[in-house]
Structure 1
């Protein structure tokens, strides 16, 4: 239990932050009506009691954060808070329409009403357009119609709603827009060819998981882009080479589209690129040509799986990938600051497969993962020895290709590796026993290759299911049922038994033949002696 009355005598208190107190106490908002000097109040994560008739005189609130407070109705007391600059009432259970008077608060700049159940806006959307908002987050609601936005808008997030139709061209007229997030809706048609023409400040453009199609034109690319997410749409054509002008680009995700192009090796020229996801498109051909640089110095996630890439990866291909070779700290939050107090953050996200499971990495978790996924292509030749340089790698997936040769024992250098998939290739030789030393390696898959010999007995390897080693004709040992050397020993035993039998017969024969000869000799002597005796007797009678 928390006694909030202890704050009532602090008449000059200007900053009060009490988020997530982990108490069953219900906080009555009327308690704070006496704190007329409050400049910032944060009660997030606590259960609030807000009477529908509650009236609070205009306070000095410039920042009010009431996120995750079990609020079910839009707080009416806010109508008089004319000094409010920053308002966050996200992650509550508020339904219905956003009240019209909210847009009339004269200096309100930041408004976060995300993660509620709003379905629309009261009054005309012109009221919103005429307001002076700079940051608006209406994501994760039930909105159907995109409102007209004020020209002062810098940050707009409307992901996870029910929007459909084409993206309004009016967005291009927001000349100082920095962040536009429209992911997880049902927008269709093409992207307006105007972001670069009219808007020169756009740095975050996320259109993930819609029904957008056509060519993503170079005119849609702002040179200031830091994060571009076009994943899970129906874009076609080539990847716009104008991205080479986006020297600040850190995040590029075009997964699950219909892009048909050669590998964009020119992306190596982007000095800040950290995440590159080309998964599930129609990219084709080799990913390396003579004279190309190997270096992707800041790349942490490299996913080109399920395309049509071919050729041999040079032994030194992964040299110069410094961010995967050593511990490098990255901050993935994208702060948008504005006059007054408060900061808005948008977290990037990306999906990947780890330990055989699909997962989504969001925000700070995304900065921890370092992965290489080249599965589902037509690569051949030896696995590049330079993979062993990527000491911070967590996921390595090279399955479903045509790699040959042996598994490099140097993979033991990947001491942070958690998932290794080399299945469905043409790898030969033995599984390096050194892999048993990788203590974090929770999942590995060597199935459908031409590996041979005993499976190493290390704890990490033996903990795998037998399916991880299946369809290797000459592989043996636990957890497979095929025992190593058992058949050979049996064969040798049978052969030895047969040899012993032959030797016994030979010995018997050797023993038998002299006996027979000796028998015949004795018999002949006896018969001769007997004949002579009879003859002597016969002559005596005669």
Structure 2
């Protein structure tokens, strides 16, 4: 697969693959736009991919990956979907992802991330976010209102623009379309979105250690409660 120079989509999700992620998958496949290795048994760390990155979607959900999220992902300027939920990753909140101009889906659910999620507003903009899931980690401190105000796509005043029902998807150079999929949890129920519509927005910060009261403002969907162990979130909304 590393020698397939024109490979644009590689989806090996829902298997029993083991071992680490080969660096060559991205390094040698300069045209690779989608890499989906979710729901396998992959171990090790997410190592930097040498060379250029043209990924629009990187999905590694439900594996056994550990270590920190590498900052090299900032070179993936086309990245729209980053789903690394349900692993054993650690470290602080990656504020640097706010500089990704196209990032619309960010899932860090069920890892070992910790600390504050406050980011310098002048250095991070999350204007394209529509799905934001930090649930079941160790984040703490307050949820800054200035941070939420950068989520322009989630604001109610954008409802009319969203009614066009556009889809977030990858289109190959040959015109083939790959539908992004992502698993979301709403009111304790897990479901898979087989198509991500621009009209769908969700933010889930439940099951963390936030202790400061916040104002949600004009966001459409915002989950802060934790069904199992609500004492971990003390939030006034």
TM over 0.5: yes
Is 1:353 paired with 2:214?
Answer: no
Larger Cα-atom Rg: 1
Which residue among 209, 218, 225 is the counterpart of 1:389? 218
Q: 1:215, 1:235 within 8 Å by CA — same for their partners in 2? A: yes
Q: 1:203, 1:222 within 8 Å by CA — same for their partners in 2? A: no
Change (3 A) 1:314 1:290: same
Change (3 A) 1:231 1:221: farther
Which sections of structure 2, spanning at least 5 residues, go unmatched? Answer: none
Is 1:324 paired with 2:154?
Answer: yes
Question: Which structure: greater helix fraction?
Answer: 1
Change (3 A) 1:397 1:291: closer
Task: Note the C-alpha offset of 1:293.
Answer: 4.2
Task: Note the C-alpha offset of 1:356.
Answer: 3.1
Is 1:295 paired with 2:121?
Answer: no
Q: Distance in 2 between matches of 1:300 and 1:261?
A: 23
- Once the two structures are superposed, residues 298-319 of structure 1 have per-residue CA deviations (whole angstroms, 9 ceiling, x without a partner) of 0000000001111112232211
Q: 1:191, 1:220 within 8 Å by CA — same for their partners in 2? A: no
Bigger RCO (CA 8 Å, 6+ sep): 2
Q: 1:195, 1:220 within 8 Å by CA — same for their partners in 2? A: no
- Corresponding residue SS for 1:232: coil
- Corresponding residue SS for 1:233: coil
Change (3 A) 1:380 1:180: same
Q: Distance in 1 between matches of 2:26 and 2:50?
A: 6
Q: Distance in 2 between matches of 1:247 and 1:427?
A: 34
Task: Note the C-alpha offset of 1:344.
Answer: 2.8
In structure 1, what is the equivalent of residue 171 of structure 2?
Answer: 335
- Once the two structures are superposed, residues 57-112 of structure 1 have per-residue CA deviations (whole angstroms, 9 ceiling, x without a partner) of xxxxxxxxxxxxxxxxxxxxxxxxxxxxxxxxxxxxxxxxxxxxxxxxxxxxxxxx
Change (3 A) 1:204 1:290: closer
In structure 2, what is the equivalent of residue 254 of structure 1?
Answer: 84
Q: Distance in 1 between matches of 2:71 and 2:48?
A: 7
Which sections of structure 1, spanning at least 5 residues, go unmatched? Answer: 1-170, 402-422, 432-542
- Corresponding residue SS for 2:73: helix
In structure 2, what is the equivalent of residue 184 of structure 1?
Answer: 14
- Corresponding residue SS for 1:260: strand
Task: Note the C-alpha offset of 1:262.
Answer: 1.0
Which residue among 210, 219, 228 is the counterpart of 1:379? 210
Q: Distance in 2 between matches of 1:337 and 1:224?
A: 13
Q: Distance in 2 between matches of 1:223 and 1:337?
A: 16
Aligned length: 228
- Corresponding residue SS for 2:184: strand
- Once the two structures are superposed, residues 435-482 of structure 1 have per-residue CA deviations (whole angstroms, 9 ceiling, x without a partner) of xxxxxxxxxxxxxxxxxxxxxxxxxxxxxxxxxxxxxxxxxxxxxxxx
